[in-house]
Structure 1
Amino acid sequence: MEGYADLIAAEDVLLFVNAAITATGQREFHSSAAEQQLSLGFLHDYVLGNYREPYAAALALDINHHNAALIVRRLLETAADATPEQRRTEGRLIARRLQLLPPQRVYRLFGELRRAGVNNRRTRAILRDWLAARPDPVLDAVKYRGGLKGVLRHAHLAPAAPELGEFLFGAGPRGRYGTPLLDSWQRAHYTKAAIYELPYTVAEGFARSHRVPRADFLERIAPRLTRLERLRLQENAREHRAEAVRTDRTDLGRMPLTRLALYALSLPPAQRIERRGELTEALRTAARRTAGPEAGRWGKVAAVLDDSYSASGSGTKRRRPLAVALACHFLLEALAERYTPLWTSGRTDALLARPHGATPLGHRIIDALDTAPDRLVIVSDGWDNAPPGLAAEVLRIWRTRLDPDRRTSVVHLNPVYDADGFDVRRLAPTVPTAGLRDAEDLPALVEFARFADGRSDLAELTAHLAARTDRFLTAPSSEAAPPSEVTP
């Protein structure tokens, strides 16, 4: 009975990890935002109440920013329920994870804690230490003025410099600031030239208030754009013929792989064809960088990639599942010694992928297994419907009768959270399934998926989480701190 309870506990923790990787509380193709939020909220409450230590350890895994913030908030709200040892470990995990979160999300989290009345000594210490580690308090004051004011008031902290206090809490405008960025912010209220001395996100509001033509604004603010801002503004710049904002091959090659795939899919097919060489080289460069020393070491790999209509995602997550599949395609190409990609639509031109048609996963899995791969990776939301259930039957027969010795490793990676099932949708009990947010996490998740085949117990999973936690907490600070331009 005890072994059975451990198995159930391991399944519960794995279910939560999959949700924490994929779910963002936003609308998906098959469920509304309200359904997503209700399902995810229940899962957080259930796992926190029953498995507090694994719940906190999830902060050391490749979960998304939305769930990391939810975990931090719930741990701080329920600090009284934790033992002293748990609080010490949680405090270190929280502090480390906050370094990885985009600052705007951290300020939003701190605002939620303030409104919830969470103001214990540990919370104030975490707020204080995070603010003290911020590389540029002046930039934070300008970009996140309301959030920073709220944190300082809530934790009863003094600003980093007296002039910052005057900027944040002063009753009205003053003559002149000694700090250049603060002075530019004040002058931008009255003169257009000062707008272009500010970060883009701040300058945009001033440009609207001064009614600066969009094309002029984009041309002049271009030198201050980060790489990701430049990428996001590509289509807007194209519409307004703002050539200074255009990215070059070097900029694209430095982009994260999944973001680059999203950008490529946002372009009309004609532009993808026109820029095929540039986009393909950028995607392959990003994939090689992601693969690192594992490049070319995965042997013979076959991939079944879902480009059915449901891969279009939703209005808030447009083409997200398809972009993850496209990014995985290029990453698996870099990891494999020999690689065979099979899209559910039957198309062979990955760069022109588009969401269309049904999901004949079973047929494509048969085609993939015919190549006798060392690894089969399936990237799909799991809605096998042409015909329904064929993929599960193919995988069952393959694993139980044709390949019981597991010569071929099969894993299913699912980028979509299923609100009704409180998990990512699975294809077959005999095949491990793991949630996937970004293609960059694929190598780690393929390793982690071995716990999802129903044969691992809680002790093995706990040992894995402890090892990941130890690596997470002892990694150099330079590895934990994300680039300032990376946003969720």
Structure 2
Amino acid sequence: METYADLIECEDVLLFANAAITSTGQREFHSAAGEQRLSLAFLHSYIHGNYPDLYAATLALDINDHNAALIIANLLGRKGGHPGDARLIAWRLARMSPPRVYRLFQELRRAGVNNRRTRALVRDWLAARPDLAFDAVKYRSAVKSAVRHAHLRPEGELGDFLFAPFSRARYDTPVLEAWRRAHYDKNALYDLPYTVAEGFAARHGISRAVFLERVAPRLTRLERLRLSESAERDGVRTEADLAAMPLVRLASYVLSLAADVRTRRRGELVAALRASAARAAGERAGTWGSVAAVLDDSFSSFGSPVKRRRPLAVALACHYLLQALAGGYRGLWLSGRAEPLHARPTGPTPLGRRILDALEGRPGLLVIVSDGWDNAPPGLAGEVLRVWRRKLDPAGKVGIVHLNPVYDAGQFDVRRLSPMVPTAGIRDAEDLPALVELARFAEGRTGLAELRAYLEDRAARR
């Protein structure tokens, strides 16, 4: 039998997991950045202090990099620590983007966290980089800071480049030599990473159109996508492999396009979204049976100026992923829109009515993707779900899961529609299958022992 304390612990860990998946400490539609950061800081302090083993284990979940970095910083700053923490931290660092990791190392240096574990992790991560010379050019000050913090002494050209870059008349490493030559040779800058070459181009007075045309072959996939519109205005075409993009990032790109552009490129964009969704579904494609989705495109799905259209992009990405996972699928947008490609944030949030429409067909699974601010009329969604669970489907033949892409700073959790339905935070659509699995713990059918076993299993597989 589980005790009351066990139930509280289970709820606390699930609450923290939702926050760590959704919140990045940035402004949201209903809360400012300061509120988000303050709320997150309290949660990290609370969970770290009360459940240190489970706090570390959440690194194995699909939490975002912002919270992963906070967890790692807190674990490294604590004396002692579990022996398995270092392996889990190293695994998570390997998954994070290099700029995020370098920022974490700089924050550790500013905080004075320089114990043996920290130095070993920094050393091993730098040693595992596929091209540290490339990093030294692209993130020079950050690499220099990390090397100093870990008490490392790079030998040869790399050490000279970091601490005395003009001490050599020539470098044998191509990227280092290109950086040296780019100070006086315009042609050399096109052998550098885009962000570094951009600065040299401005210094040499090279026009934007000429620069983009010549640097295009060296652009990364994300850089091509980010620059596609601005490059076209300068008369330069930067072809991006849209189908290879992560699903939510691709959805964000689609939503950033003007309505007429989406119409003109409809075939290309839909094909890319479906290909990305099929890749994310993998072997599970077509195995989920009958699925219905209620997708939030109300005005609050705009997000905020710093997370522009992020909640709507998550809903659009989930639409295409659920379509790929399901044997039979029906997607219902709050606005009643029939064409997902033309989704835009508009109008109120009549969740209750759309949930009724979705339940009418009695699907095997209903997925609700919404920030949970049901307001047309307020509370109808919760009442619909209560009556459905207690009166119409007490056996739970229709599985219902609410996925929320927005952290509610005031509630220290994602906003829930009803205690009768499990809610999980979501950031990337690719995490949807795992989140549907995690949501069962919030439903009350499984308890602390199962949750601990789930987290330990996830950690052991990392």
Q: TM-score, normalised by structure 2?
A: 0.98
Give the letter for the 1:53 counterpart.
D
Q: Deviations for 1:148-172, whole angstroms, at most 9, x for unmatched residues? A: 111111111121x411111101174
| 1:377-400 deviation per Cα after TM superposition (whole angstroms, max 9, x unaligned) | 000000000000000000000001
**Alignment partner, residue 184 of structure 1:** 178
1:339 & 1:221 partners in 2: Cα distance? Answer: 43
Moved over 2 A (4+): 171-174, 454-457
SS at structure 2 position matched to 1:28:
coil
Deviation at 1:141, TM superposition (A): 0.8
| Residue of structure 2 equivalent to 1:223 | 217
1:30, 1:442 → 2: CA distance? 24
Instruction: Answer yes or no: is 1:106 the counterpart of 2:68.
Output: no
- Give CA-to-partner distance per residue, 1:228-247, whole Å, 9 cap, x none: 1101111111211112x133
Per the TM alignment, residue 211 of structure 1 is displaced from its structure 2 partner at its CA by: 2.2
**What is the alpha-carbon distance in structure 2 between the residues aligned to residue 36 and residue 240 of structure 1?**
38
Q: 1:320 and 2:310 equivalent?
A: yes
1:277-312 Cα distance to aligned partner (Å, 9 max, x none): 000000000011111111111111100000000000
Match of 1:140 among 135, 140, 151: 135
For 1:222, give the aligned amino acid. Answer: A
| Alignment-derived partner of residue 282 in structure 1 | 272
Q: Distance in 2 between matches of 1:305 and 1:2?
A: 36
Does residue 35 of structure 2 align to residue 35 of structure 1?
Answer: yes
Following superposition of structure 1 onto structure 2, how do residues 43-82 of structure 1 map, counting pairs within 5 Å? 43-80=43-80, 82=81
Distance 2:160 2:169 in 1: 12
Query: Which residue type is aligned with residue 21 of structure 1?
Result: I
Q: How far apart in 2 are the matches of 1:470 and 1:79?
A: 23
Question: In 2, Cα distance between the equivalents of 1:234 and 1:402?
Answer: 51
Q: Distance in 2 between matches of 1:469 and 1:295?
A: 26
Q: Is 2:160 aligned against 1:166? A: yes
1:344 and 2:337 aligned: no
5 Å-filtered alignment, 1:432-451, equals: 432-451=422-441
In 1: Cα distance, 2:255 partner to 2:236 partner: 21
Q: Who is 2:147 aligned against? A: 152
CA contact (8 A) 1:111 1:150 kept: yes
Aligned to 1:480: none
| Superposed CA RMSD | 1.1
Q: How does 1:82-93 map to 2 (within 5 A)?
A: 82=81, 86=82, 88-93=83-88
> Which residue of 1 is the match for residue 21 of structure 2?
21
2:57·2:459 contact (CA, 8 Å) conserved in 1? yes
Say whether the 8 Å CA contact 2:356–2:384 is kept in structure 1: yes
- Which blocks of at least 5 consecutive residues in structure 1 are unaligned? 473-488
Deviation of residue 117 (structure 1)?
0.8
Change (3 A) 1:408 1:264: same
- Distance in 1 of aligned mates of 2:409 and 2:233: 38
Other structure's SS at 1:321 match: helix
Q: How far does residue 455 in structure 1 lie from its aligned partner after superposition?
A: 4.0
User: What displacement does 1:469 show?
Assistant: 0.7
Instruction: Give the drift of 1:179.
Output: 1.2
> Could you tell me which residue of structure 1 aligns to residue 236 of structure 2?
242
In structure 2, how many angstroms separate the alpha carbons of the residues matched to 1:173 and 1:92? 39
AA aligned to 1:405 is A
TM-aligned CA distance change 1:98 to 1:171, over 3 Å = closer
* Equivalent position of 1:483 in the other structure: none
Secondary structure of the residue aligned to 1:298 is coil
Distance in 1 (alpha carbons) for counterparts of 2:168 and 2:54: 51
Q: 2:281 touches 2:321 (CA, 8 Å); kept in 1?
A: yes
Q: In structure 2, how many angstroms separate the alpha carbons of the residues matched to 1:134 and 1:246?
A: 28
Partners of 1:186 and 1:239 in 2: CA distance: 32
Matched, 1:368 2:352: no
Task: Tell me the alpha carbon deviations over residues 72-97 of structure 1, each in whole angstroms, 9 at most, x when there is no partner.
Answer: 000001134x3xxx1x1111111110
* Amino acid in the other structure paired with 2:136: A
Q: CA deviation at 1:176?
A: 1.2
Matched-pair contact (CA < 8 Å) for 2:160–2:167: no
**By how many angstroms is 1:174 displaced?**
2.9
Q: Tell me the secondary structure at the aligned position of residue 377 of structure 2.
A: coil
1:95 to 90, 94, 98: 90
The alpha-carbon distance between structure 1 residues 277 and 2, as it changes in their structure 2 partners (threshold 3 A), is closer
Matched AA of 1:61? L
Give the aligned residue type for 1:42. F
Aligned AA (2:23):
A
8 Å Cα contact 2:389-2:396 kept in structure 1: yes
1:396-423 alpha-carbon deviations (Å, 9 max, x no partner): 0000110011110000000000000000
| 2:206 maps to amino acid | V
Deviation at 1:454, TM superposition (A): 3.2
Cα 1:64–1:420 shift into 2, 3 Å: same
C-alpha displacement of 1:205: 1.4
Determine the C-alpha separation between the residues in 2 that align with 1:25 and 1:207: 34
* Alpha-carbon separation, structure 1, partners of 2:18 and 2:338: 30
Tell me the TM-score normalized by structure 1. 0.93
Q: CA deviation at 1:201?
A: 1.5
Segment drifting more, 203-212 vs 133-142: 203-212
Aligned length: 462
Q: Distance in 1 between matches of 2:276 and 2:322?
A: 12
Work out the CA distance in 2 between the residues paired with 1:241 and 1:300: 47
User: Secondary structure at the residue paired with 1:411?
Assistant: strand
Q: CA deviation at 1:471?
A: 1.2
2:254 counterpart of 1:271: no
Q: Percent identity?
A: 66
Equivalent position SS for 1:149: helix
SS of corresponding position for 1:79: coil
1:206 is displaced (CA, Å) by: 1.1
1:33 counterpart letter in structure 2: A
- CA drift of 1:456 comes to 3.0
Range with bigger deviation, 340-349 or 202-211: 202-211
Corresponding position of 1:486: none
Which of residues 282, 289, 292 in structure 2 aligns to 1:292? 282
Cα offset, 1:457, TM superposition: 2.2
User: What's the counterpart of residue 481 of structure 1?
Assistant: none
